[in-house]
Amino acid sequence: MLNWSDLHPGDARPAAAGPAATALLAAALQPDDAVLIAGPHAAELITAAVAQVTSVDLLVRSAPDAEELAEQLDDAKGQVFCGSLDRWVVDETYDVIVALDGLERLVGPDTASFPWVEALDRLRERLRPGGRLLLGATNSFGFERLIQPDITAAIPRDEDWGRDVADRAPAGLKPLLSALDTSDVQTFAVFPSLVEADLALTTVDGFAGVAAARAVASRNEGPVLMDPYRLVLDAAAAGVAFELAPAWYFVIGAEAPAVLPEGVVPEGEGVLLEEHLLMALRCDDQAELRRVIPTYVAWLGASGAGSPDNVILDGTSYRLFGEAQELDVVEHLRRFARRALESGARQPWPAAADPHALTARLAAMAGITVPEQEFTPDEVVRPRGSAEQLTTVARLADELAHASARAILFEGTVSGIRRSLPYRVGHAVLNPARVIRRRLKRVLRKVRR
C-alpha cells in the first residue's frame, strides 16, 4: 500500500500499543529469540522488542511505514518486509511471532479473500518447533457495543473496505479458542482496546473488575448509552466481563503474569468503599452509613488520602487502591456524592438531589458542618448514561405520582372536615368573636390618634 500509513492514520485505527502490550513482550520474549512482528504495532512497542532479543523482522502492509521503521531500526539486526501476508513467501522461521493487532490488517484491499483461519495457519508455518505465538483479537460484541451511542461510529472509515465474512476473526471467545485448536494457550482480557491496551487480565472479578472498569470509563467521555464504569462492574459481578472484554490476547507456548502490567490490581481482601456506600444508599441502610462515614473520616484525618472510589474497606481498616488524592475531607465526600449521582443510584433523601446537599448530609454524619450554599441549576448532576437517566426519570415520575396522590388525599380530607357539622358550628361560634376583635382594634387605633 503506497499511499497509506497504519502508524500515522488519517481516518483509520491506530497501531497496536499500550502498557499491557509492552509488559507482555517483556514477559514472553527471551534474549536469544528470533522474532517476527506482523501487522501494525506502535514504533515504541517495536523498539522495546528490539532491545530485548537477538533479531526482529517486521511484516507491514504500508510502504511509508516500512521505510520509516527501516530507518528507525537501521542499527538493529533484522529485516523489514512490506506487503500482504498472503503474498509473503520466505524461508525464515522464528522463535516468536507477535501479532497483537490481530490478523485482519495483514492484508490490503487488493486481496480478494484471505480467511482468518488461513492467515493463522500461515503464521504458524513460520514458527520453529516449540515456538511461541502472541496473538490479539478484537471482540465484535464487547462493552463498546453497549456504551457508545455515536452513530458516526457506524460510518465506514477509509480502511473499512469490503471484506469476506470469513476474513474476520470468529465472533466470541469460545469460537476463537476453538479456531486456535490448542490447549497450550493463556488468554487475557484486554481493556480498553488493542490500540490502547492499558490492562490485560486472566480473570475479571473483584479488584481486577474495578481496574477494568476504570480503563473502559477513561476512554468513554461524553454521552453514552450506559455508564461505562457501572456496566463493567456489574458485568464483573455477574461473571461475564471476560467474555464482554473489548479484545483478547492469546499467548500460545509462553508464560506471562496473570495481570499485565503487574501491580495495577491490589491484592488482599476487602471491598471498594464506594461500592459499600452505594449499596447502603440503595438499601436505605442509614445505620451503616452512620457507622462507616465517621470511621472513614477519622482514617482520612489520621493518615489517609483517598476518595471512596480509591479506598478499600476491609472490615474496620482502610487502605489505598491506586495513587493518593490530596483533598480535604469535604472534597473527598463531595467527590463520592457526585459519583453517586452520576451513577443514577437511588437516594434515600429527596432533599439531597444535588452534590452540595448530599455532601452536607454525609459530612453531618461525621460531625462536620458544611456551610450553606446558594443553589444553582448548574449544580444538578445527571446520571452518566442514557439508560440510567431514563431509570431516574421513571423513579422521579413515580415519586411525583405518589406525592400528587397524597396531596389529593390531603385536600379531600381537608374539604371533608370543612363540610362537617362540628367544623361549621365552631366556625360560626368563632367568627363573631373575630369580627368583634377586629372592630375593637380599629376603635383603639382611633382613640390613640
Grid coordinates representing 117 are 483461519
The CATH number linked to 129 is 3.40.50.150
- Both 375 and 400 in one domain: the answer is no
Phi, psi of 57 (to 5 degrees): -105, 150
Grid coordinates representing 295 are 470511621
Residue whose C-alpha cell reads 367544623 in the numeric block: 423
Q: Give me the chain's average pLDDT, please.
A: 87
Ranges 127-131, 275-279, 339-343: which has the least confidence: 339-343
- Say yes or no to pLDDT of 150 above 60: no
- Both 350 and 425 in one domain: the answer is no
Q: What total number of domains does the chain contain?
A: 3
For β-strands 197-201 and 247-252, DSSP reports them as unpaired
Where do runs of H (alpha helix) occur along 92-159? 116-125, 144-147
Q: Is residue 220 a part of any domain in this protein?
A: yes
- Both 85 and 181 in one domain: the answer is yes
Three-state secondary structure call for residue 417: helix
Q: Is residue 80 a part of any domain in this protein?
A: yes
Sign of the dihedral through C-alpha 413, 414, 416, 422: positive
For residue 109, the 8-state DSSP code is T
Please give the residue range of the domain that contains residue 81.
19-260
| The domain boundary residue, chosen from 260, 293, 312 | 260
- Say yes or no to pLDDT of 378 above 80: no
Per-residue pLDDT band for 83 (boundaries 50, 70, 90) equals very high
Ranges 22-31, 121-130, 261-270, 382-391: which has the least confidence: 382-391
Q: Is residue 389 a part of any domain in this protein?
A: no
Radius of gyration of the chain from its Cα atoms, rounded to whole angstroms: 32
Chain-centre distance of CA 418, in angstroms? Answer: 59
DSSP code string of 329-353: HHHHHHHHHHHHHHTT---S-TT--
- Both 313 and 231 in one domain: the answer is no
Q: Is residue 2 a part of any domain in this protein?
A: no
- Both 226 and 313 in one domain: the answer is no
Neighbours of 8 (CB within 10 A): 13
Query: Using alpha carbons only, what angle is made at residue 297 by residues 293 and 302, rounded to the nearest 5 degrees?
Result: 150
Which positions ≥6 away from 331 have C-beta within 8 Å?
none
User: Tens of pLDDT along 348-376?
Assistant: 776 556 788 888 889 999 999 988 876 56
- Both 75 and 186 in one domain: the answer is yes
What's the residue count for the chain? 449
Asked if residues 303 and 323 have their Cβ atoms less than 8 Å apart, the reply is no
Phi, psi of 266 (to 5 degrees): -70, 150
Q: How many alpha carbons fall within 13 Å on the CB side of residue 397?
A: 6
Per-residue pLDDT band for 50 (boundaries 50, 70, 90) equals very high
- Say yes or no to pLDDT of 195 above 60: yes
Q: Is residue 103 a part of any domain in this protein?
A: yes
